[in-house]
A and B are shown apart, each in its own frame.
Chain A
């Protein structure tokens, strides 16, 4: 015990504590002592002895500075908050964020407190709108000091070496994963340089690089990122997606327009975009004019984080007496009406599930509009009459549910959710 204490004392002296005792102001002393002890045990002894005197002075000045800073930002709840709030008046953009990171890196050559700084930076990223920017993530990982946390012997390799720092890096990678940011070679080199191979952080990197490309194209209905800004382009993309028919044709019935008439009255015209396939036109042409068709909506569609609404024109399912009898080929054994033989199939092969089809009316057309009121949708029906003359004879019933304005929709502006304004609806006959 005595021997150990002597050793420690010798080390402390070597680390220049004596000089510090003389030079340090009374107030800063306990803090400094703690800092230096911690450093002595962690760092490589040879290096700490060599550079002790210079470092001690550097620490002295920096700690005095940070003491003043601590006083000035006594209201801060998070460490390093002042770095990100320094240019509160300026824009919160990539340049100011990287500047904050650079300021931190230049402040102290040993990057003291980098773990806290990285956590703070991760938390601030969504505020700056940078949570999907790979360069910024690499910049943040670059804050870690290099080659210090690389394990040097097998015992360090077995146990997690510098667990707090590795966990911090895991948090960075986790946030990248949550936002769907695929790391690149620079990320890999940084992690290799910081934590060495077979560390937890680099394993996480390999995991991401295995699963991300594997599931990247799993979605058969991909959504472009970012979505088209123009509402008509967005409507065109949406309608083509939900119509599920390559022959369907998109028609723009009305462009969005805001105009002021001579009388000083403001006129706003919402856009109306519709889609109809030749099959649907055919169905509508054969529709019995005595039966009404229905305009229904709004129905919801999610394109990643954006919600759009569409309306459909549909008919009622046909009553059983009006349905055409399909004559199946087995009606006549001697002279089959059609023969559909698939010789690759065995007689026991069946390709149909034993379920009843859901009985629903046919859908004649789909549209998206800037406003969901009846007048706007009536304009859509008028537009449809050019290509479907039968619509002028068929009664059209508007069955509009209350729009999303009236629905208790949980909206949040930070998700960039778009909503198309809707107005009052009523069930009326045209």
Chain B
């Protein structure tokens, strides 16, 4: 009996999700505040119950107008791009032979706005992470303190991470847009770290809802010291993980559906950290022929 109630309940919730998804292309941006609650009834220990009735949104007419304006501007851009060549590559020949591309640089606050910094503070941990421009406006400095103290909520077993991630690209009305990196086979970074290992993680298009936690990861080991170092990671080395667990069935990274790129620190060492990034580039290394570094046959 109880089970059937549960099923009904979940059916009701998923119905609501679908209805909301149907509205999303047009009005999705109006629901951004509340959508996360509708997907799951899970509540972290320590957070109070959300008793606000669902019709009470924090609705601001001015904000919504701005949103609509922004979305129509994006739409206009999209139409223009479709009629003319896309902004970055006016020359098709140039686009075909492109071998090096600087994907992210850090020259102004606007460049920093493309990134999101997070830490385990969102799960109740005590780490801190900040992102700022370097002294000569050419680099980004990610710094903070890592603290592995586990929050006392009774269910968290591990804590202590800091991360920086790009914001996903959006088209008008909240539709997703992806980077296409099929021309390249390596990621290229110029960084200056403090000896700590970091993890680069790439998030791709979650076509099925099952894939929404999938991340392709690899490590960067910094040398430390006063010199800049160049790190090249072939995309073939990235392995698939889901919710922090390496998967048994490994798949290659699909380079035409890249959503975000991020850096994570979680080396279980308490103390301050620092990572200076000059630029993040993409590279076609013609000497690299490996397609995938891990076995794909069933074990």
Contact = CB atoms under 8 A, between A and B. Distances in A.
Interface of A: 178, 206-207, 210-211, 214-215, 218-221, 241-244, 299-305, 307, 310, 312, 314, 348-356, 358-360, 363, 366, 407, 409-412, 415, 417
B260 interface: no
Given A348-B97, A411-B270, 17 more contacts: A218-B221, A219-B219, A219-B221, A220-B221, A241-B224, A244-B227, A244-B229, A301-B224, A303-B195, A310-B225, A314-B226, A349-B99, A350-B99, A366-B226, A410-B272, A415-B270, A417-B270
Contacts of A219: 197, 219, 221
Contact of B271 (A211, A355, A360, A417): A417
B263 interface: no
Interface stretch (B55-63, B177-185, B273-281): B273-281
B298 to A, nearest CB: 13
Max chain A CB contacts within 10 Å: which of B219, B223, B225, B281? B225
B248 A207 contact: yes
Contacts of B196: 302
Contact of A358 (B136, B248, B269): B136
Contacts of A207: 246, 248
Given A206-B299, A299-B226, A363-B226, A409 B272 contact: yes
Contacts of A358: 134, 136, 138-139, 228, 278
Contacts of A352: 100
Interface string B173-204: 00000000000000010100011110000000
Contact of A304 (B226, B228, B269, B299): B269
A208 B224 CA distance: 29
12 contacts: A214-B294, A219-B219, A301-B224, A302-B271, A350-B100, A352-B100, A353-B102, A353-B281, A354-B102, A355-B278, A356-B138, A415-B270
Contact of B136 (A244, A302, A359): A359
B226 A242 contact: yes
B147 interface: yes
Contacts of A218: 219, 221
B160 to A, nearest CB: 11
Nearest to B279: A355
Contact of A241 (B223, B274, B279): B223
A305 B269 contact: yes
Contacts of A412: 270
A409 B271 contact: yes
A412 B270 CA distance: 8
A28 to B, nearest CB: 34
Nearest to A359: B136
Interface residues on B, range: 35 or more
A215 B294 CA distance: 11
Nearest to B281: A353
A351 B194 contact: no
A302 B145 CA distance: 13
B105 interface: yes
A302 B279 contact: no
B70 to A, nearest CB: 30
A364 B246 CA distance: 44
Contacts, number: 103
Contacts of B228: 358
Contacts of B99: 348-350
Interface string B80-110: 0000000000000000010110100100000
A353 B188 contact: yes
Contacts of B246: 207, 211
Interface string B256-276: 000000000000111111100
A169 to B, nearest CB: 17
B243 to A, nearest CB: 15
A244 B225 contact: yes
B100 A354 contact: yes
A351 B281 CA distance: 12
B270 A407 contact: no
A389 B277 CA distance: 36
B194 A301 contact: yes
A302 B222 CA distance: 10
B271 A242 contact: no
B276 to A, nearest CB: 9
Nearest to B239: A211
A206 B298 CA distance: 13
A356 B107 CA distance: 10
A1 B230 CA distance: 76
B221 A307 contact: no
A282 to B, nearest CB: 17
B99 to A, nearest CB: 6
B98 to A, nearest CB: 9
Nearest to A239: B225
Nearest to A345: B286
Max chain A CB contacts within 10 Å: which of B97, B138, B224, B299? B224
Contacts of A409: 271-272
B274 A300 contact: yes
A355 B196 CA distance: 25
Nearest to B219: A218
B59 to A, nearest CB: 42
Contacts of B278: 355, 358
Contacts of B274: 300
B82 to A, nearest CB: 27
A241 B225 contact: yes
Given A214-B294, A358-B136, A410-B271, A366 B225 contact: yes
A338 to B, nearest CB: 24
B271 A411 contact: yes
Contacts of B225: 241-244, 301, 310, 366
A242 B223 contact: yes
B226 A302 contact: no
A103 B200 CA distance: 47
6 A-B pairs closest in CB distance = A242-B225, A302-B195, A301-B224, A348-B97, A219-B221, A301-B195
B265 to A, nearest CB: 11
Max chain B CB contacts within 10 Å: which of A218, A352, A411? A218
Contacts of B271: 302, 307, 409-411, 417
A349 B285 CA distance: 11
A349 B227 CA distance: 28
Given A214-B294, A220-B221, A358-B136, A410 B100 contact: no
A223 to B, nearest CB: 8
A221 B223 contact: yes
A221 B246 CA distance: 24
Contacts of B138: 356, 358-359
A8 to B, nearest CB: 28
